[in-house]
Amino acid sequence: LTRACPINCRQRGFICAVGCSENLKLLQLEIKHAKQEHRELGIVFVDIAKAFDTICHQHIISGLMQRGVDPHVIHLVSEMYENIVMYID
């Protein structure tokens, strides 16, 4: 799946990697360098919280098909979205 759908090297969620500490360290270094060099610094934080809640499940399946993901993997992903129910106890 990673070969068919490569992820950004800064991705920290849902992969085997250190937490956000590396990204925080990079941010600290950028701020430090900007202060030392007396230059302006602009930073943008993008939070794509609950992104998959807003994407149609069929669109995810279509994207996997377009990327040439193995049909068995596509079937497994499709099955995860079939007959989903939630119980609050």
Q: What is the pTM of this model?
A: 0.49
Cα separations in angstroms, 76 against 1, 58, 66, 72: 12, 13, 16, 6
> Residue 35 has which token pair?
């202060």
List the pLDDT tens digit at each of the 89 positions of the chain.
777 778 877 676 667 766 677 778 888 999 999 999 999 998 877 666 666 667 788 888 999 999 899 999 999 989 988 887 777 87
Domain layout of the chain by residue ranges = 9-46, 48-88
> Residue 49 has which token pair?
């919280």
